[in-house]
């Protein structure tokens, strides 16, 4: 049994969808960022980083989306969420997810989380002004070089897909013009039609 | 045969050391950041992101350190660089490396790469002033919660170790007082004594 800690409108959605895709037995617990629950002693005992997602398993607690997504794929191999028997293909999956985690998500975070890296209100404003450029450059690269279609890795749906979908939820809010990334938008629509995605979204926004 | 593209004083060092640890047959190519070679058409054909590391394999090109490190571990299983037969333990390894990639490395990058996320000189200065705090918080968390000792994951040396060592090279430059993270410093010293580390460093700084 797995328990997923998530908050609304966060990257935890990717692992939530993947657990659905995997057919895993799991429960969810919502952390309320508006009440700063992620910094509560109870939650810091789960994840000392004070962030989501975190996943409680029978063996212990896992954090960091790329690691959790790979764990879900490896733990539920029948769902075929990653090319587990091909180290190179698996590395391509992991490379895409690492880019989302360390470059796209970080570019997005400068919209509202500038205090992680700066102190002055003028810097936060400057960062916010640059979000459309920085996030847009990531989506341009994905559109041009990485999204093979119909899924990220081509014909096979993988753990890359819910992770890309999660960030694609935010692109209009990040000031990125959807017209410049038609393949990303088509992928988002394709994802929206999946029962696993509908179920995870319905629960998170209930 | 693997070809690793690296630049001096970059996170490519982690994969370089891991290739040595693995006993892999590989060659290296140095990209000169001072000549902006990472943005040359020839290099962009290798890695459209214009960054290092990149690794050319018989199957194609891989980027992103966490993915490359896991690939090295999986491709050279005899070197036992990751717990490949235990999905949870492998996820712990991957979780640590994702944190280095997406949080510690990103905090460090605000010292000299502020133009990724802002435009104003005052913002870059503000970011630089916050690097000791942001990078220091990452090392504090690693010191307190993640570095088990003697290696990151405990008794077994893994792909977490060269990656942590790489960022530990920069901590004084990032304004972090080594006295507050004695376990990280002891780990760095332990790494410095390994032949694989000495060989990679000697080549990169020849």
CB contact under 8 A, B102 and A102: yes
* pLDDT score recorded for residue A145: 96
Residue A73: CA atoms inside 13 Å, Cβ hemisphere, count? 24
Sheet strand arrangement including A2-6: A26-30, A2-6, A54-56, A61-63
Distance CA A180, CA A171 (A): 11
Over B79-144, what HEC string results? HCCCCCCCHHHHHHHHHHHHHHHHHHHHHHHCCCCHHHCCCCHHHHHHHHHHHHHHHHHHHHHHHH
Distance CA B109, CA B198 (A): 25
Among residues B104, B139, B14, B106, the alpha carbon closest in space to that of B68 is found at B14
Angstrom distances, CA of residue A86 to CA of A132, B63, B65: 36, 17, 18
* pLDDT score recorded for residue B131: 98
Q: Which residues share a beta bridge with A154? A: A151
B chain contacts of residue A67, beta-carbon cutoff 8 Å: 91-92, 94-95, 97-98
Distance CA A123, CA B136 (A): 21
Distance CA B51, CA B7 (A): 9
Q: What are the tokens at B90?
A: 């492998």
CB contact under 8 A, A67 and B119: no
Angstrom distances, CA of residue B11 to CA of B33, B154, B189: 13, 23, 18
Q: What are the tokens at B119?
A: 């435009």
Beta strand extents in A23-84 (DSSP E only): 26-30, 54-56, 61-63
Grade residue A27 by pLDDT with cuts at 50, 70 and 90: very high
Q: Looking at beta carbons, which pairs linking B44-47 to residues 24 or more positions away fall under 8 Å?
A: B46/B5, B47/B5
A197 to chain B nearest CA, in Å? 24
Grade residue A37 by pLDDT with cuts at 50, 70 and 90: very high
B159 to chain A nearest CA, in Å? 14
* pLDDT score recorded for residue A13: 98
A90 touching chain B per CB within 8 A: yes
Grade residue A79 by pLDDT with cuts at 50, 70 and 90: very high
* pLDDT score recorded for residue A80: 98
pTM score, whole prediction: 0.98
pLDDT per residue, tens digit, chain B (206 aa), is 899 999 999 999 999 999 999 999 999 999 999 999 999 999 999 999 999 999 999 999 999 999 999 999 999 999 999 999 999 999 999 999 999 999 999 999 999 999 999 999 999 999 999 999 999 999 999 999 999 999 999 999 999 999 999 999 999 999 999 999 999 999 999 999 999 999 999 999 98
Grade residue A77 by pLDDT with cuts at 50, 70 and 90: very high
* pLDDT score recorded for residue A147: 98
Among residues A130, A199, A136, A133, the alpha carbon closest in space to that of A162 is found at A199
B117 touching chain A per CB within 8 A: yes
Could you count the other beta carbons within 10 Å of the beta carbon of residue A195?
9
**Which residue is associated with the tokens 């690296």?**
B6
Sequence-ordered list of residues with C-beta below 8 angstroms from that of A193, at least 6 positions apart, any chain: none
B chain contacts of residue A127, beta-carbon cutoff 8 Å: 117-118, 123
A91 touching chain B per CB within 8 A: yes
* pLDDT score recorded for residue A83: 98
B113 touching chain A per CB within 8 A: no
What whole-number percentage of chain A has pLDDT above 70?
100
A186 touching chain B per CB within 8 A: no
Supply the mean pLDDT for chain A: 97
């Amino acid at each position: 049994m797995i328990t997923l800690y998530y908050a609304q409108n966060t990257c935890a959605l990717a692992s939530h969808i993947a657990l659905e895709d995997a057919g895993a037995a799991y429960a969810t617990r919502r952390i309320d960022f508006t009440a700063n629950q992620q910094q509560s002693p109870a939650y810091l005992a789960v994840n000392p980083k004070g962030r989501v997602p975190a996943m409680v398993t029978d063996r212990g607690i896992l954090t960091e989306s790329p690691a959790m997504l790979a764990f879900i794929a490896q733990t539920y191999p029948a769902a075929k969420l990653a090319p587990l028997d091909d180290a190179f293909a698996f590395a391509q999956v992991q490379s895409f997810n690492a880019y989302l985690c360390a470059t796209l998500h970080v570019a997005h975070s400068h919209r509202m989380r500038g205090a992680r890296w700066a102190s002055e209100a003028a810097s936060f404003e400057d960062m916010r002004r640059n979000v459309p450029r920085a996030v847009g450059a990531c989506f341009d690269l994905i559109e041009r070089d990485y999204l093979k279609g119909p899924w990220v890795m081509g014909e096979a749906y993988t753990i890359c897909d819910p992770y890309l979908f999660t960030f694609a939820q935010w692109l209009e809010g990040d000031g990125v013009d959807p017209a410049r990334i038609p393949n990303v938008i088509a992928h988002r629509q394709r994802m929206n039609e999946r029962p696993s995605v509908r179920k995870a979204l319905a629960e998170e926004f209930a």
